Chain A
Amino acid sequence: MLEMRGVRKTFHAGTPNEVRSLAGVDLNVEAASFVVVIGTNGSGKSTLLNAVAGTFPLDQGSIQLDGADIGKWPEYRRARWIGRVFQNPFSGTAPGLSIAENLSLAARRGRPRGLGWALEAGLRGQMRDVVSRLHMGLEDRLDNPIGTLSGGQRQALTLLMATWLQPKLLLLDEHTAALDPKSADQVIRLSEEIVERDHLTTLMVTHSMHQSATLGDRLIMMHRGRVIYDFHGAEKRRLRPEDLLARFEEVRRAEQLDEGAAEMLRRVYV
């Protein structure tokens, strides 16, 4: 479904703040596969998702989604096929608009928007139905501004919005990291439910070792802008949080070794 080839991105190239965020990523994600993405801070996990979503132009490489070369499409055009939930629970909804209005925007994701009434009766009924399944009592507050809701409620609604029209690809970017444990749990269960129900191809970035061990059918670990580990199927199912921590430790040691070696060389030659 998703095919990334040699994707590279350097931010602030040629300045002292240069960051090589993606250093040649090749990734092939099959349809209906749920991929968990982990990695240290600054390893390029979020950049990977943003590269697919089209937040910035790539330096190099190609991205194909369902056979279409989307690598040069603007962000809003890719949105027709891609649903997204952000880390910040306030990023995915328009606070001044009502719950219903936000949902109506999502109900036309990537489609032309004309002069039809946004909140037509049929859509409203459907909204009540879908929102009531959250069990948050929001179905009676559809006309309240979404800005009055809690982060957890807004994130749950963002998830509904991202999947209202079935996307070819769902991008979840640490979407529970900013929530309290209870809301995080609710949102994760909802994510799991929706992904399973609609057989969505999903990329989920997370910091939670628990989530990475229990969710998804594939796990990739990123480091310094590259995919360094890739676990599929049975191998992924066997992974425990301790295994993942051990891998992180391994990476850290290799890093120190690299730095130690570089230091030694510097001492000898400089």
Chain B
Amino acid sequence: MSLLIGALTIGLILSLLALGVLLSFRIFAFPDITAEGSLTLGAAVAATLLTHGWSPLAATAAGLVAGTVYGTATGALHTRFGINGLLAGILVMTALYSVNLHIMGRSNIPLMGAATLTTQADAVGRRLLGGVESVHLWGWEVSSRDLSVLLCSAAGIALAGAILYWFFRTNLGTAMRATGDNDQMIRALGVNHGTMITLGLAVSNGLIALAGALLAQYQGFADVQMGIGMVVWGLASVIIGEALVGTRQLGFAIAGAVMGSVLFRLLVAIALRWGLNPNDLKLITAVFVFLALILPGLLEKLQTRRGRAHA
């Protein structure tokens, strides 16, 4: 049971990553690799500040802000200097590796004993549950700590999703979505599309850094390697979400990304439990995304061929 709750919690935290990827890859069709660096950046900034005694909320917010700064950097490289989007992301991601090491001062920061959002959630939960160590849930024994962290994560993600939905429905957010949809049109309507892309990448990387900051506090450490493979991870979540609820409506797309992230994490947890070698995890994720990308095209081809055979 604690395995299930752990998987749900990490899935929820990483749904912020999925939302960031949804924004860059799906809304802008911008292959933003910066995410790999900014996830670690959020974790690095938050963990370092926590060990310096910052309040968890402030440290987490600082991680988010750091992410927006580097998202802006990628956007500026692309829109001001005309560097290919993929390359701009790779440049910033590579630079971030050094930046992250400098922030952390070493390759791993443990958060044992530090006050984090996790310990705060635990405290809140304990107070609400009347100070018990564990509760019985449908016949399972669940540690009250795990449960309160899960519920707080769910509340936080719901809030983040709602804010994102609201943002996308404002004048600014609508212009941002239109920029990804038809940039010729949006320029003809007086929008600086370079600014929109830069702003969008800032928001996207802010979300991803927030995911990193929360993940570090949940795991109890920040590691300079923790961002590796995260873009593909986020993409897999988005693709699963699209398969679950479709892409047609904004609210569905956001909810789908969150659901996709949780479901994907659950599948991974189950596979690991069944004895999947953790070293194969990234390979399998990549193959999964590859299949998800080519399958629609293959199915279509198959159908037209079948149609022709019938005709």
Contact = CB atoms under 8 A, between A and B. Distances in A.
A94 B181 CA distance: 5
A76 B175 contact: no
Given A91-B182, A95-B182, A79 B171 contact: no
A145 interface: yes
Interface string A8-21: 00000000000000
Interface string B104-142: 000000000000000000000000000000000000000
B174 A105 contact: yes
Contacts of A3: none
A105 B170 contact: no
A149 to B, nearest CB: 14
A108 interface: yes
Question: Which has the most chain B C-beta neighbours within 10 Å: A53, A80, A105?
Answer: A105
Contact of B181 (A74, A75, A97): A97
A249 to B, nearest CB: 36
A241 interface: no
B68 to A, nearest CB: 16
Contacts of A96: 177, 181
B188 interface: yes
How would you classify the secondary structure of chain A's contact residues: helix, strand, loop or mixed?
loop
Contact of B172 (A86, A102, A109, A115): A115
Interface in B175-210: 175, 177-178, 181-182, 184-193
A246 interface: no
A119 interface: yes
B288 interface: no
A121 to B, nearest CB: 13
A41 B310 CA distance: 44
Contact of A113 (B172, B181, B193, B248): B172
B169 interface: yes
Interface string A84-122: 101000111111110001101110111101111111000
Nearest to B196: A113
B251 interface: no
B169 A118 contact: yes
A145 B174 contact: no
A77 interface: yes
Nearest to B178: A94
Given A75-B187, A91-B185, A109-B190, A116 B171 contact: yes
A104 B174 contact: yes
Question: Which has the most chain B C-beta neighbours within 10 Å: A80, A109, A113?
Answer: A113
A161 interface: yes
Given A95-B181, A95-B182, A101-B174, A53 B188 contact: yes
B105 to A, nearest CB: 38
A114 B167 CA distance: 10
Contact of A106 (B177, B187, B189): B189
B173 A109 contact: no
A19 B175 CA distance: 35
B188 A108 contact: no
Contacts of A106: 189
Interface in A18-33: none
Contact of B171 (A91, A92, A115): A115
Contacts of B177: 94, 96-97, 101
Nearest to A95: B181
Given A94-B181, A95-B181, A118 B170 contact: yes
A76 B177 CA distance: 17
B110 to A, nearest CB: 39
A113 B175 contact: yes
A161 B184 CA distance: 14
Contacts of A79: 187-191
Contact of A145 (B182, B184, B192, B248): B248
B186 A118 contact: no
A106 B169 CA distance: 15
A52 to B, nearest CB: 12
B170 A114 contact: yes
Interface in A39-94: 53, 74-77, 79-80, 84, 86, 90-94
Contact of B189 (A105, A115, A116, A118): A105
Given A74-B192, A106-B189, A109-B189, A118 B184 contact: no
A91 B189 CA distance: 12
Given A74-B192, A94-B185, A113-B175, 9 more contacts: A92-B185, A94-B186, A97-B174, A97-B177, A105-B178, A114-B171, A116-B170, A118-B171, A118-B174
15 contacts: A75-B188, A76-B193, A91-B184, A95-B182, A104-B171, A105-B178, A109-B190, A113-B170, A113-B171, A113-B172, A115-B172, A116-B171, A117-B169, A117-B171, A161-B189
Interface of A: 53, 74-77, 79-80, 84, 86, 90-97, 101-102, 104-106, 108-111, 113-119, 145, 161-162
5 tightest A-B CB contacts, nearest first = A110-B190, A79-B190, A94-B181, A113-B171, A94-B178
